[in-house]
Chain A
Amino acid sequence: MIQSKGKLGIKEFISIIALTIGTKLSDDTPSIIYENAKNAGWIATILIGVMSFIPVIILIKVFSAHKDKNLHEVIIYLFGKILGNLISIIILVLGASALIVDSGVYVDIIGTMYFTKTPPSIIYLILMAVCAYGAKRGIEQIGAVSWLLLPYLKITLLVAVIVSINEGTLGFIFPIWGEGKLEIVKASAKNLSIFSDFLFIGLIAPLVVSFKDFKKGTIISLIFVTLEISLAMVTFVMLFDYTTAEMLSYPFHETIRYIQIGFLTNVETLFFPFWLVATFIRFSFYLYLSAILLGGILKIKEFEYLIPLVTTIVILIGLSPDSPSIVLYTMRQYILLLLSPAFIFLPPLMWLIAKIRGDFKNETVQESS
Chain B
Amino acid sequence: MVYLIWGIVMVVCFYSLAFGVTLWKQKNKPGSIVVILLSITSIILPYFTYVK
Number of A-B contacts (CB under 8 A): 60
Task: Give the residue of A300, A312, A313, A319 whose beta carbon is less than 8 angstroms from that of B28.
Answer: A300
- Bound together, the chains give a CA A312 to CA B15 distance in angstroms of 12
- CB of A130 within 8 A of chain B? no
- Bound together, the chains give a CA A292 to CA B1 distance in angstroms of 31
Decide: A319 and B15 in contact? CB cutoff 8 A: no
- Bound together, the chains give a CA A316 to CA B8 distance in angstroms of 11
Question: Closest Cβ of chain B: how far from A200's Cβ, in Å?
Answer: 20
Question: Closest Cβ of chain A: how far from B8's Cβ, in Å?
Answer: 7
Q: A125-B5, A300-B23, A300-B28 are in contact. Are A316 and B50 (CB under 8 A)?
A: yes
Question: Closest Cβ of chain B: how far from A311's Cβ, in Å?
Answer: 8
Question: Closest Cβ of chain A: how far from B2's Cβ, in Å?
Answer: 9
| Contact indicator per residue, chain B 19-39, by CB within 8 Å of chain A (1) or not (0) | 100010000101100110011
Decide: B42 and A298 in contact? CB cutoff 8 A: no
Q: A309-B35, A313-B45 are in contact. Are A125 and B8 (CB under 8 A)?
A: yes
B contacts with A, residue count (CB < 8 A):
25
Decide: A300 and B31 in contact? CB cutoff 8 A: yes
- CB of A369 within 8 A of chain B? no
Give every chain B residue within 8 A of A300 (Cβ-Cβ).
23, 28, 31, 35
Decide: A312 and B42 in contact? CB cutoff 8 A: yes
For the residues of B in contact with A, the DSSP-based class is helix
Give every chain A residue within 8 A of B49 (Cβ-Cβ).
316-317, 319-320
Question: Closest Cβ of chain A: how far from B13's Cβ, in Å?
Answer: 8
Q: A122-B1, A313-B38 are in contact. Are A299 and B28 (CB under 8 A)?
A: yes
| Contact indicator per residue, chain A 250-273, by CB within 8 Å of chain B (1) or not (0) | 000000000000000000000000
Decide: A316 and B35 in contact? CB cutoff 8 A: no
Decide: A308 and B15 in contact? CB cutoff 8 A: yes
- CB of A121 within 8 A of chain B? yes
- CB of A77 within 8 A of chain B? no
Decide: B5 and A313 in contact? CB cutoff 8 A: no
Give every chain B residue within 8 A of A312 (Cβ-Cβ).
8-9, 12-13, 42
- CB of B3 within 8 A of chain A? no
- CB of A306 within 8 A of chain B? yes
- CB of A119 within 8 A of chain B? yes
- Bound together, the chains give a CA A174 to CA B15 distance in angstroms of 57
Give every chain A residue within 8 A of B4 (Cβ-Cβ).
125
Q: A119-B1, A320-B49 are in contact. Are A298 and B12 (CB under 8 A)?
A: no
- Bound together, the chains give a CA A316 to CA B5 distance in angstroms of 9
- Bound together, the chains give a CA A308 to CA B13 distance in angstroms of 9
Give every chain A residue within 8 A of B1 (Cβ-Cβ).
119, 121-122
Give every chain A residue within 8 A of B19 (Cβ-Cβ).
305-306, 309
Among A298, A309, A320, the most chain B Cβ lie within 10 Å of the Cβ of A309
Interface residues, chain B, with chain A CB atoms under 8 Å away? 1, 4-5, 8-9, 12-13, 15-16, 19, 23, 28, 30-31, 34-35, 38-39, 41-42, 45-46, 48-50
Taking A298-B34, A312-B9 as given, write out 18 further A-B residue pairs in contact, using a Cβ cutoff of 8 Å, ordered by the A residue number: A119-B1, A125-B4, A298-B28, A299-B30, A299-B31, A300-B23, A300-B28, A300-B31, A305-B19, A308-B12, A309-B12, A309-B39, A311-B12, A312-B13, A313-B45, A317-B45, A319-B49, A319-B50
